């Protein structure tokens, strides 16, 4: 009945499943490669062992070694192809995931901008600038001293300063033109005893003069 309805379509593997299958194949081929390398080493040992003693056995060992080496070369080529295929599939899978993530981000961004337009953005920015200007004006008003200097005329202050300067200048002129009073010598400093000690020899003291005056009166 397959020729009437066609063959049943096989379910394709996901990229991750295909990558895992390739990795399993690589692991199997690597094990077989190690086995062949071991067999080659054994055949070389057998050929050396028989040498000229059993030439036929030595030649058979070398022939088997050649077959193993051929299989090993084929396996190495297969491994290279599988590694290349796996890396390409991994890169494709990565690119697919990145593209999906970018598509989701684009849809989210579109949804976020759905209720916005450039006019609304400009209105919001204008309102922000207006509020900033109002805030600056409020800060300036608060920081300036209330009532200080607003009820004082600067011209009046300058006129008063000129009057003070003129008075000072007139006073200086009067001091220069007037009669200067000579400075009196300062009173002598020191104790009376020191002054009396400095009297010249032969001078009468006040007590001697009082005694003479009393004797004359009597």
Q: Encoding tokens for residue 40? A: 């080659």
> Is residue 136 in some structural domain?
no
> Is residue 18 in some structural domain?
yes
Give the model's pLDDT for residue 197: 47
Q: What pTM was estimated for this model as a whole?
A: 0.45
> Is residue 132 in some structural domain?
no
Give the model's pLDDT for residue 209: 72
Nearby residues of 86 by Cβ (< 8 Å), 6 or more positions away = 19, 22, 23, 26
Closest among 22, 143, 3 to 88, alpha carbons compared: 22
Q: Encoding tokens for residue 35? A: 């086995």
> Is residue 118 in some structural domain?
no
> Is residue 204 in some structural domain?
no
Query: Which residues form the domain of 94?
Result: 13-112
Q: Are 93 and 16 in contact (CB under 8 A)?
A: yes
Give the model's pLDDT for residue 1: 47
> Is residue 190 in some structural domain?
no
Q: What is the pLDDT along the chain (218 residues), one digit of tens a residue?
A: 454 455 555 677 888 889 999 999 999 999 999 999 999 999 999 998 888 788 899 999 999 999 999 999 999 999 999 999 999 999 998 998 999 999 999 988 888 878 777 888 888 899 999 999 999 988 888 877 655 555 567 787 788 888 888 888 888 888 776 545 455 555 555 444 444 444 555 555 677 776 776 666 55
Count of structural domains within the chain: 1
> Is residue 199 in some structural domain?
no
Give the model's pLDDT for residue 146: 58
> Is residue 92 in some structural domain?
yes
Give the model's pLDDT for residue 77: 95
Rounded Cα distance, 29 and 167, in Å: 117
The domain spanning residue 68 has which CATH number? 1.10.287.1060
């Amino acid at each position: 009945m397959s020729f009437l309805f066609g063959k049943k379509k096989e379910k394709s593997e996901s990229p991750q499943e295909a990558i895992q299958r390739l990795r399993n194949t690589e692991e199997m081929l690597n094990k077989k490669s190690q086995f062949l390398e071991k067999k080659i080493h054994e055949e070389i040992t057998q050929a050396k062992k028989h040498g000229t003693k059993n030439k036929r056995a030595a030649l058979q060992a070398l022939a088997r070694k050649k077959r193993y080496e051929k299989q090993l070369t084929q396996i190495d080529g297969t491994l290279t192809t599988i590694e290349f295929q796996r890396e390409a599939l991994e890169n494709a899978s990565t690119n697919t995931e990145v593209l999906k993530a970018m598509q989701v981000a684009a849809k989210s961004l579109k949804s976020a901008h759905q209720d916005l337009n450039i006019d609304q953005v400009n209105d919001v920015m204008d309102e922000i600038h207006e509020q900033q200007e109002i805030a600056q004006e409020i800060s300036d008003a608060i920081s300036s001293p209330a009532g200080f200097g607003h009820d004082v005329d600067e011209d009046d202050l300058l006129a008063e300063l000129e009057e003070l300067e003129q008075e000072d200048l007139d006073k200086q002129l009067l001091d220069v033109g007037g009669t200067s009073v000579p400075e009196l010598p300062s009173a002598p400093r020191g104790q009376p005893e020191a002054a009396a000690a400095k009297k010249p020899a032969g001078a009468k003291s006040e007590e001697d003069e009082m005694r003479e005056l009393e004797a004359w009166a009597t």
